[in-house]
Amino acid sequence: MSPKSRPSRDVAAEITNLIIKKLEDGVPPWSRPWRVQGSGGRPLRHCGTPYTGINTFYLWAIGDAQGYRSRYWMTFRQAEALGGHVRRGESGSLSVYYSSFRKTEANPVTGAEKERSIRFLRHYIVFNADQVDGLPAHYYPPFEEPAPIDPSAHQAEIDRFFDAIPAEVRHGGDQAFFAPTLDYIQMPHQRTFRTMDHYASVRAHETTHWTGGTKRLARTFGKRFGDKAYSFEELVAEIGSGLVCAHLGLPNELHDSHASYVGHWLGILRGDKTAIIHAASKAEQAFNYLLSFEAEPIASQAAAIPEAEEPLAEAA
């Protein structure tokens, strides 16, 4: 087959298939990697800029599957520019982004022309620093046994992050949820959690739900996902919790009360190969919104992009 006739890669399907496999294995890529990779945190470009959106979770999943310890990813040319070289036989991974073009269409009845923007996925190939020899030392994390994590080690960061967010939080009972009608977060008392890290993880989940309220990002999915919109919002909140936990340096686990959603998530992902990309984007938007309340935010507040007319249902 000649290069011109070679079919293009279905990158959305490749990404979705990997996420499905990780879910089936019981290892959501937004929950585990920063606990098993050498230096933790988000994947980084060669220049130190964090990846965002689906690239974060896809590269986390790849890194976890391959046992990579470095956070850094780069193209073949970027590795060479840094003085390194990709080892022979190494396979690259996808990094995706949206591009667009404008197309003019004529109405078949009136003949009137209308221009519209069409978005499409593009990709390039990146390699983890662990696949590259000869890079500067800081691209490779040191090999050392992980120290036990003190549950209170990150308490100052936890308090600073959540205290800045103007969400009403009520404590009591044995359920955690966001009530959109009265616009508050309900949490069990802190003493009922095994550790404050677990409390922060669940609160991050519910606070991600809070960002989708009508007074804030007005996040709804009824138009696109119909009766699966509730499960899709749960997926966004779970990914959002993962981002917050990574930001605070916390371990994040799939909370027991949300385990039942995994089957629904798999159904959504199998039915729509772009759904995980959409969910990661919305979680990233929610995370940036929460960061905007920090005294020195590291990301700008994302604009609200309502997608449907239906209100967000009460989310657990």
Is 179 found in the same domain as 226?
yes
Is 231 found in the same domain as 101?
no
Below-50 pLDDT ranges, the chain: 1, 3, 32-36, 148-150, 254-257, 297-313
Taking only the tens place, the pLDDT of each residue in 164-192 is 999 999 998 878 899 999 999 999 888 77
Is 96 found in the same domain as 21?
yes
Is 173 found in the same domain as 229?
yes
The pLDDT assigned to 302 comes to 37
Is 255 found in the same domain as 155?
yes
Is 162 found in the same domain as 135?
no
If one counts the domains in the chain, the total is: 2
What is the Cα–Cα distance from 45 to 173, expressed in whole angstroms?
Answer: 44
Is 312 found in the same domain as 183?
yes
Is 69 found in the same domain as 18?
yes
Q: Which domain holds residue 211?
A: 151-316
Is 168 found in the same domain as 26?
no
The pLDDT assigned to 214 comes to 92
Instruction: Please write down the long-range contacts of 164-173, taking CB distance under 8 Å and 24 or more positions apart.
Output: 164/293, 164/294, 164/295, 165/207, 165/210, 165/290, 165/293, 166/293, 167/207, 167/210, 169/203
Is 213 found in the same domain as 133?
no
How many CB atoms are located within 10 Å of the residue 203 CB? 25
Taking only the tens place, the pLDDT of each residue in 187-242 is 988 877 778 888 898 899 999 999 999 999 999 876 666 677 888 898 999 899 98
Least Cα distance to 256 among 176, 145, 152 occurs for: 176
Is 314 found in the same domain as 169?
yes
Is 220 found in the same domain as 136?
no
